[in-house]
Chain A
Amino acid sequence: MSWLAETTAVLAKEARSEWRTRVAAASLGLFVAGALALIGLAFARLSPSPELRLEINTQIAAALLWLVILFTAATGLGRAFLVEEERGTAIALRLHGRPTAVWTGKFLANTAQILLLSAVTAPILFQILGVDVRHPVPLVLSVALGCTGVAAVFSFTGAVVAQTSARGGLLAALSFPVLLPQFASGVDSTLRAIGFRATLSTDFWSTSGGGIVQLASYDAIAITAALLLFEHIWNE
């Protein structure tokens, strides 16, 4: 079987498994819904002045979006390998294909999950906060690239945590420090896409193309590092 076929088989298995139970999608969806409800409730109590409220909401919209994405990922994406160990299917996966194919299949499944959730979360969050997005295409690009990096890190650290005895809070503890640069770039890039920091120019690319490049660089390095290192923990 070719590497691509193995990867596709793992991805298809993840999709079938998720479609049968829909547990992950439902739990993450409810998490996002709860988070958005809490944000809406908290910010409804801000200053009654619409102009001031919009000013505050615009400034913090990017940070809130990325916090929701990060905590959603921490809740759901790390279980990809843990589930295999709990069900006893990990050995079948080890026998089935190359480690890089297994990791890539899981990573693609996680990426699809987090991208779907972000596609739902971002518009609803901006609607709740009453924020208008000045540059929608760069916003989509920033969120997509950021989510890809988040999925790569959680797919890798999820595999690490599945080999340990203390699983609960360890995933977030391992992942959040590594994700700090991606988080910072994502928030900055999203802020510029919303239009908050585009004070020198209305052209997003001339003011913030660097943020997109940083996000893409992080993704490339994270994926490469994970592919090179995964075999050493998978075959332990």
Chain B
Amino acid sequence: MGLPARILILLAMGGELAFVFLRLPAGQGFANPELARMIVLHLPCAYVACVFAFGAGWQGIQYLRRRELLADARSVVAAQLAALFAFLTTATGSLFAKEQWGSYWNWDPRQTCVAALLLVYAAYFLLRASVDDPDKRAAISAVYVLFASVLTPTLGYVIPRFFIDQSLHPKVASFDAWYRMGIYPTAIAVLGLSVWIQRLAVRGERIRLRLEALEESAA
């Protein structure tokens, strides 16, 4: 990633954080209007978690098609970022839920879906740790992440959103101009930052794979 892009991402993140803490007005119609600003951090984390969850599945498909360990490395890094942002989504959502709905956890369908996603990724990393052979580990991980990606987010989010009426989350959220100015640019900035992190991590994995290949050929 070039220097101008990196500077732009850092400026965007800094600008959005300054906007959220210094300029964004308190939310109207919330139990704690000041804390409602949390939405501007909560929603971008959820969006980015979804992007990387699908990215992990996509790279899994690429590994199964081409059997290149670099695709597996990309899948793992995407899964790590998906888990990180799912955790941040849960943490920010819980803080907001305590003020808004009286409890850190309410078993709301979307809360449950994110919790399931966290458990899925925990199981995914545990599965990877239990297989020694790199090719077998890559294949099994790709298969599991695809299996889980199809079932958990789709059925834990799509069906509750479209088929279940009882949810603490609004079915259709409408934000005023101030909050739209906070949420969507923040989502883009956070996505840019996490893509930067991903590229760095994948570069490290590429170097590790080349070193292993050199060691094998030397042996």
Binding site for B on A (CB under 8 A): 153, 156-157, 160, 163-166, 170, 173-174, 176-178, 180-182, 184, 210, 213-214, 217-218, 221-222, 225-226, 229, 232-233, 236
For the A-B complex with A177-B123, A232-B64 known, give 15 more contacts whose Cβ atoms are closer than 8 Å. A156-B147, A157-B144, A160-B144, A163-B140, A170-B123, A170-B126, A173-B123, A177-B117, A177-B152, A178-B116, A210-B163, A213-B163, A225-B147, A233-B143, A236-B139
How far is the CB of A183 from the nearest CB of chain B, in Å?
10
Shortest Cβ distance from B142 into A: residue: A232
CB neighbours of B131 from chain A (8 A): 163-165
Task: Compute how far the CA of A163 lies from the CA of B140 in the bound complex, rounded to whole angstroms.
Answer: 8
Q: Is the Cβ of B152 less than 8 Å from the Cβ of A180?
A: yes
Tell me whether B126 and A221 are in contact (CB under 8 A).
no
Q: Which residue of B lies closest to A177 (CB)?
A: B119
Q: Which of B20-28, B153-161, B191-199 contacts A (4 or more CB under 8 A)?
A: B153-161
B172 at the interface (CB under 8 A from A): no
Q: How far is the CA of A156 from the CA of B143 in the complex (A)?
A: 10
Bound-state CA distance A173–B154 (Å) is 20
**Given A181-B155, A184-B112: A233 and B139 interface contact (C-beta under 8 Å):** yes
Q: Please provide the chain B residues from 147 to 175 with a CB less than 8 Å away from any CB of chain A in the complex.
A: 147-148, 150-152, 154-156, 159, 163-164
CA A213 to CA B158, docked complex, whole Å: 14
Expressed in whole angstroms, the Cα–Cα distance for A170 and B140 within the complex equals: 13
Instruction: Choose from B140, B144, B147, B155 the contact partner of A218 (Cβ within 8 Å).
Output: B155
Q: In whole angstroms, what is the CA distance A164 to B141 when docked?
A: 11
B130 contacts A by Cβ under 8 Å: yes
A-B contact pairs, 24 of them (CB 8 A): A160-B140, A163-B131, A164-B127, A165-B132, A166-B129, A170-B127, A173-B122, A173-B126, A174-B126, A174-B127, A177-B148, A178-B151, A180-B112, A180-B115, A180-B119, A181-B113, A181-B152, A218-B155, A225-B150, A232-B139, A232-B142, A233-B143, A236-B136, A236-B139
Q: How far is the CB of B158 from chain A (nearest CB, A)?
A: 10
The reply to whether A225 and B151 form a contact with Cβ atoms under 8 Å apart is yes
A163, B61: Cα distance in complex, Å: 19
B17 close to chain A: CB less than 8 A: no
CB of B146 within 8 Å of the partner chain: yes
CB contacts (< 8 Å) of B152 on chain A: these are 177-178, 180-181
> Which has the most chain A C-beta neighbours within 10 Å: B147, B150, B154?
B147
- Pair B151/A222 contact, Cβ less than 8 Å: yes
Binding site for A on B (CB under 8 A): 64, 112-113, 115-117, 119-120, 122-123, 126-127, 129-132, 135-136, 139-140, 142-144, 146-148, 150-152, 154-156, 159, 163-164
**Chain B contacts for A173, CB-based, 8 A:** 122-123, 126
Say yes or no: B140 contacts A233, CB within 8 Å: yes
Question: Could you tell me the distance between the alpha carbons of A210 and B142 in the complex, rounded to whole angstroms?
Answer: 32
B120-A178 in contact (CB<8A): yes
Q: B156 to chain A: which residues have CB within 8 Å?
A: 180-181
What is the CA–CA distance of A184 and B115 in the complex, to the nearest angstrom?
13
With contact pairs A178-B151, A181-B156, A210-B163 given, residues A225 and B146 touching in the complex (Cβ less than 8 Å): yes
Q: A181 vs B130: C-alpha distance in the bound complex, in angstroms?
A: 26
Q: A156-B147, A164-B127, A164-B131 are in contact. Are A214 and B155 (CB under 8 A)?
A: yes
Which residue on chain A has the smallest CB distance to residue B155?
Answer: A181
- CA of A164 to CA of B163 in the docked complex: distance in angstroms? 38
Pairwise interchain contact A221-B155, C-beta atoms closer than 8 A: yes
| Interchain CA distance A173-B122 in the complex, whole Å | 8
CA distance in complex: A184, B64 (Å): 32
CB neighbours (8 Å) of A229 from chain B are 143, 146-147
Chain B: which residue is nearest A181 at the CB level?
B155
Q: Which residues of B contact A176 (CB under 8 A)?
A: 119
The residues of B that contact A182 with a CB separation of less than 8 Å are 155
Q: In this complex, what residue of B is CB-closest to A166?
A: B130
Interface centre among B135, B144, B146, B154 (most CB of A within 10 A): B144
